[in-house]
Structure 1
């Protein structure tokens, strides 16, 4: 007996005989299961972020290409994965979180089923590089369909040793390459990337103590960057803007705040008491906007036991609070973190853990909503700004007029005392500052560089002779403290005359600008340009020219009493001078041979080594080895790649015939050596490191084990902002000559307002 399905172009015959039931192939089962877990790149990233947080990471870096479809890379500094666990890492139901079913009742981690990496390996090319603190090297493993796979033809599939930092680097490439239907259903790469940013933003708010960085592959600037050790409110301000942060309220609710009755014996407990007993096991932390903030779409971040989840019941309850407060069509910002006893939560109700179920959901939601509503009622006045009349003031309810002071604020908090109209707030006596004359008053305000990940020089590891981390950090701490550099006691008339000349050449207004400036950011490292703000004006300055003048003045200030920067091993100056002479084009036009030039410079320096050591802490041995250099600024390390050029220039550029001219020209060359920037290209030269042992004369000692690569723009920007400019603020008497080309005003806020008014 057969039946024909009507309504289609082709009739389908259905056999009366039941089709045989077959066991699906394991690869097909795994691919179907993977489709339940990994819907799009953002869902894959969510699983990977949770793994990073489970590993105790404090820094998470994410790199994305083509919306995550071509590349999705995440790096953390967590505990890493043992090499012995790598063979089963991407197999289904392999986890370190569970051992028995009863463990679900006390689960405190994100992942527990062991499906995330397995699912990803079935729909993408998965590569893992991991290193534990005990490992001497990192291990790299590639996975296909849950099993180890060779990274390239002809090699084994076993994990391979490789270079890597502590933690784990996971690379997901060609997502959904074997499921074309799922791939074609995805949106554009820009929309998928926006979903990724949304996921990272939410986890960054909830994990404010973890640093998150997310950027596109090939981009030098991240689209999202948060510092570690910040508060939830600071993270919200950084990620969602000041408009949200300034209207943010915070309440903490827990079951202990509900009225608890005297406990009865277990035999006398009724249903109501049982409800209280279970509901005493939760607490909530809510950050939400007041009545002054509203947007078209509600932003609702919900974390239950630190999991990013959705709950239509909780969302509706909070939305109902704002319906009577906000205008129609407007929505608030709400971040809610709810922590429950794991024994009352069922986390295993959704394949992607997007939803969870817990006991007493209705009563807990009602309690949280009541506390939010109470907080809005206490601080719920909406503030409106209005402009007073130009010809008069504000009418006083008791008669008379109050003087007009520009824009005023009214609070619609309802009726005043005894049912009267609420009185207008008192007008501030201080004169209101016009918008075009407002300036930043705190150097702690945000700068250009705060929008990008900024690392100190000690974080760079690009040079083989990298500085010792502890010593470098000590030097940087000294620079951050901005200690006063004392003026040495000197009785030489030549030095006193040079100091007097510096003071007379100082320009009062330019010096004041540098003393009271607010650093905005480094514009161009190669061209030595930075932006600073003073009052309502913005200046483009050449930090190279300012630095050269600063170091010259610091040399005069510390004359005869320099701290020492010791070099180890002590390099022979003849070799260094020869490198610089070979690279100098002007030597070819000289009547002397290169050997004669090198001998002449070496003889000059060695003959005057006693004077150089006494006055400048420039220590040379009798056989021509350079043991130490003067340290002009604590915390600032010069680029030792410039050392050959310095030694070569000390011969012809220093006037060795007169005392005052000798000191002046020598300090000018030393200042030029200290200016930040890359040195000359001397491929056969390797900068020496400092000797951490041994002592030196003078008031202080600073050891140095090599400047890090000058091409590391991030490290150089850090030194310019945090060491160089604070020293300028305190010690530089700026000469008028800098006004010609090195300090240029580029903007003035009142002038910009006039332009805008004409538009």
Structure 2
């Protein structure tokens, strides 16, 4: 900009309007619906509430309603309740060194009145009715009106960012904002176990979060994050090296080596204040990276107590971050304590297996009862499906024999080659080549001759019946001959069945008398040359899954093996190698 003489004009400094200043400050303190809810929640906790309920509409942009049973707000304080820098938490700057409350600036409610419509209903102990009052731009609109109420305070924040169009358009997904609100409530529900929390959407009868004030820490984690997280928690504690001069004390719960998630969940409180610390989070993730699978993250709940004068809580508009003394040594001590605890829990890692659709596939109940089930407090705890090792549903014991063809398994189990176990031990007709194998195997000429004779007779009998069926049955003699021959064929069939059964019994008797010396010698040779370790692996391994077309994974005890199925087939079944 140039002045009349052609020189550059120096811009003058002007005092901003108070409304502009307040709206700018409000944008720093109230960044999104979740930050507004956090401020309201901390005010309720500072008021000594033991029950807090939250109702949200459209992710908090339309409505955030929070009700508590705290001490309430006195009638005399209502006119200045939403003015900037009005608070009951501190009186001087030095009070920040010993502050124990969550709020201290007196900016939260004032900031909300500049970007939303705020209504307060409150009642203190001893009053016969409560008061309702609305606020806009930090000032009270009209006089407080008496109304029906209960002890405590209810605050409604409506139409958040109605006058900040750019900010409001940035929140395109109400569901995401609602999940952020649930996350804030969930974290405080874990820390404040003496307070009951509930949260739901406007118009719903079912709450998305509900915790009881009498629950323990682990019960609160189970109610908020589910039994899958609570089941794998490990208690951890840490403190400074000098017990005579305590600098900090840490206690919390961390997930064991059996738990993993897609992202890290870290709930961190310092002096009961919900904060974030990226350096501490990275240090702990380094420890878990050594024991968890790649891209798997842990769950962490950490509560740190230290002298208030060692913590600077006034470094961020939303009080989300803090600064504390001896930060590096404190993080190092916590990291070592967590690492030592995880090394202890790593020796008791649990691997789950599951048989899918066991009942529908006819698997006996004993197979289900043999599956490992963890117990806690006398109750059975079922593992999530995604944490179980995949096995074949038709093979509960995981044995390799179950993957053989049923007909082959049946013949192997019968031991005589003439009885198929899949046909309920009914006699079957053997091909001629199988008959020759039996002849060579038994070296019993008499038995082999009978088998060959009966097999040949069976083929001749089939040809005879076929020819009889082709005879001319138009004449009486032909019909009589046909009836006679059919009767004779039936008799021959019964004789054939009797012969086959006799052969089966003879074969069994031969085996019982141990006359098959060649087979006995073969079995003895196999037993002598068998590697006991490999036999135990193949006999008791559990099939996990295929790696490619010919390689598969099997588990034996705590080891994982990669087997070549083609070579294994050649060695065990003698099918011939390609």
TM-score, L = length of structure 2: 0.61
Partners of 1:234 and 1:223 lie apart in 2 by: 16
Classify 1:440/1:284 alpha carbon distance in 2 versus 1 (closer, same or farther; 3 Å).
Answer: closer
Aligned match of 2:37: 45
SS at match of 2:369: coil
Classify 1:28/1:388 alpha carbon distance in 2 versus 1 (closer, same or farther; 3 Å).
Answer: closer
Shift of 1:281: 3.0
Shift of 1:440: 12
- 1:175 matched to 2:173? The reply is no
Aligned match of 1:433: 369
> Contact 2:51–2:197 (CA<8 Å) still a contact in 1?
yes
- Range with bigger deviation, 171-180 or 239-248: 239-248
Shift of 1:433: 2.4
Shift of 1:244: 1.0
Structure with greater Cα Rg: 2
Count of aligned positions: 372
Aligned match of 2:136: 144
**Cα distance per residue 1:272-323 (max 9 Å; x no partner):** xxxxx5xx23211121001110111111111111111111111111111111
- 1:240 matched to 2:240? The reply is no
Shift of 1:431: 9.7
User: Unmatched 5+ residue regions in structure 2?
Assistant: 356-363, 382-578
SS at match of 2:82: coil
Q: 1:359 aligns with which of 302, 313, 325?
A: 325
Partners of 1:440 and 1:326 lie apart in 2 by: 23
**Cα distance per residue 1:465-524 (max 9 Å; x no partner):** xxxxxxxxxxxxxxxxxxxxxxxxxxxxxxxxxxxxxxxxxxxxxxxxxxxxxxxxxxxx
Q: 2:278 aligns with which of 312, 317, 327?
A: 312
SS at match of 1:128: strand
Shift of 1:377: 1.3
Q: 1:66 aligns with which of 58, 69, 89?
A: 58
Shift of 1:383: 2.7
Shift of 1:227: 1.0
Partners of 1:437 and 1:120 lie apart in 2 by: 52
Partners of 1:74 and 1:28 lie apart in 2 by: 28
Aligned match of 1:268: none
Partners of 2:373 and 2:95 lie apart in 1 by: 63
> Contact 1:291–1:381 (CA<8 Å) still a contact in 2?
no
> Contact 2:89–2:103 (CA<8 Å) still a contact in 1?
yes
Classify 1:312/1:138 alpha carbon distance in 2 versus 1 (closer, same or farther; 3 Å).
Answer: same
Shift of 1:434: 6.2
Q: 1:101 aligns with which of 86, 93, 103?
A: 93
- 1:201 matched to 2:201? The reply is no
Aligned match of 1:626: none
**Cα distance per residue 1:173-215 (max 9 Å; x no partner):** 0000111111011131111111111111111111122111100
TM-score, L = length of structure 1: 0.46
**Cα distance per residue 1:406-448 (max 9 Å; x no partner):** 99xxxxxxxxxxxxxxxxxxxxxx9972679999998999xxx
SS at match of 1:292: coil
Classify 1:86/1:260 alpha carbon distance in 2 versus 1 (closer, same or farther; 3 Å).
Answer: closer
Q: 1:380 aligns with which of 343, 346, 355?
A: 346
Q: 2:302 aligns with which of 336, 339, 355?
A: 336
> Contact 2:354–2:371 (CA<8 Å) still a contact in 1?
no
Partners of 1:312 and 1:438 lie apart in 2 by: 35
Aligned match of 2:337: 371
Partners of 1:290 and 1:144 lie apart in 2 by: 50
User: Unmatched 5+ residue regions in structure 1?
Assistant: 4-13, 150-156, 262-276, 390-405, 408-429, 446-759
Aligned match of 2:257: 291
SS at match of 2:14: coil
Classify 1:306/1:28 alpha carbon distance in 2 versus 1 (closer, same or farther; 3 Å).
Answer: same
Classify 1:130/1:431 alpha carbon distance in 2 versus 1 (closer, same or farther; 3 Å).
Answer: same
Shift of 1:382: 5.8
Higher relative contact order (CA 8 A, sep 6+): 1
Runs of 4+ residues over 4 Å off in structure 1: 386-389, 434-445
Classify 1:182/1:374 alpha carbon distance in 2 versus 1 (closer, same or farther; 3 Å).
Answer: same
Classify 1:441/1:120 alpha carbon distance in 2 versus 1 (closer, same or farther; 3 Å).
Answer: closer
> Contact 1:292–1:382 (CA<8 Å) still a contact in 2?
no
Aligned match of 1:124: 116
> Contact 2:353–2:371 (CA<8 Å) still a contact in 1?
no
Shift of 1:58: 0.7
Aligned match of 1:222: 207
Partners of 1:231 and 1:117 lie apart in 2 by: 32
Partners of 1:216 and 1:24 lie apart in 2 by: 40
Aligned match of 1:33: 25
Classify 1:358/1:436 alpha carbon distance in 2 versus 1 (closer, same or farther; 3 Å).
Answer: closer
> Contact 2:374–2:380 (CA<8 Å) still a contact in 1?
no
Name the Cα RMSD after superposition.
Answer: 3.1
Bigger fraction of residues in helix? 2
Q: 1:322 aligns with which of 276, 288, 307?
A: 288
- 1:187 matched to 2:172? The reply is yes
> Contact 1:58–1:77 (CA<8 Å) still a contact in 2?
yes
Partners of 1:371 and 1:441 lie apart in 2 by: 27
Partners of 1:76 and 1:336 lie apart in 2 by: 26
SS at match of 1:158: strand
**Cα distance per residue 1:126-145 (max 9 Å; x no partner):** 00001111222111110000
